Structure 1
Amino acid sequence: MNALSKSLTALAELEEVRRRARDARLPYAGEVSPDLAWALVQAGEAQLIDVRSREEFKFVGHVPGSSNVAWATGTTLTRNPRFLREFEATAARDAVVLLICRSGKRSADAAAVASRAGFGNVFNVTEGFEGDLDVDGHRGALNGWRQRGLPWLQD
Structure 2
Amino acid sequence: MLDYLAQNWYLILALVFVIFMLSKGAISKRLSGYGEVDPLQATQLINHENAVVLDVREPKEWAEGHIPGARHVPLGQLGSQMASLEKLKERPVITQCRSGMRSAAAAAALKKAGFAKIYNLKGGIMAWRSAGLPLERD
User: TM-score by structure 2 length?
Assistant: 0.73
Conserved 8 A contact 2:49-2:92 = no
Indicate the SS of the match to 2:125: coil
Amino acid at match of 2:46: V
Q: Deviations over 1:79-124 (max 9, x none)?
A: x2x4123144135211110001000000001100111111121110
Give the SS at the match of 1:108. Answer: helix
3-state SS of the aligned residue for 1:149?
coil
The correspondence for 1:35, drawn from 40, 53, 76, is: 40
Structure 2 residue 111 is matched with structure 1 residue 69: no
The answer for the alignment partner of 1:55 in structure 2 is: 60
Shift of the 21–94 alpha-carbon distance from structure 1 to 2, 3 Å rule, reads farther
Aligned to 1:89: 84
Question: Structure 1 vs Structure 2: percent identity of aligned residues?
Answer: 35
Runs of 5+ consecutive residues of structure 2 not aligned to the other structure: 1-23
Shift in alpha-carbon separation, 1:108–1:126, aligned structure 2, 3 A? same
Q: Is the 8 A contact 2:33 2:108 kept in 1?
A: yes
Residue identity in the other structure for 2:81? E
Higher RCO (CA 8 Å, separation ≥ 6 residues): 2
Cross-structure match for 1:46: 51
8 Å contact kept, 1:28–1:123: no
**1:106 aligned residue:** 102
**Number of residue pairs the alignment of both structures matches:** 114
SS in 2 for 1:43: helix
2:117 to 118, 121, 125: 121
What is the identity, as a one-letter code, of the residue corresponding to 1:125? L
Which has a greater percent of helix?
2
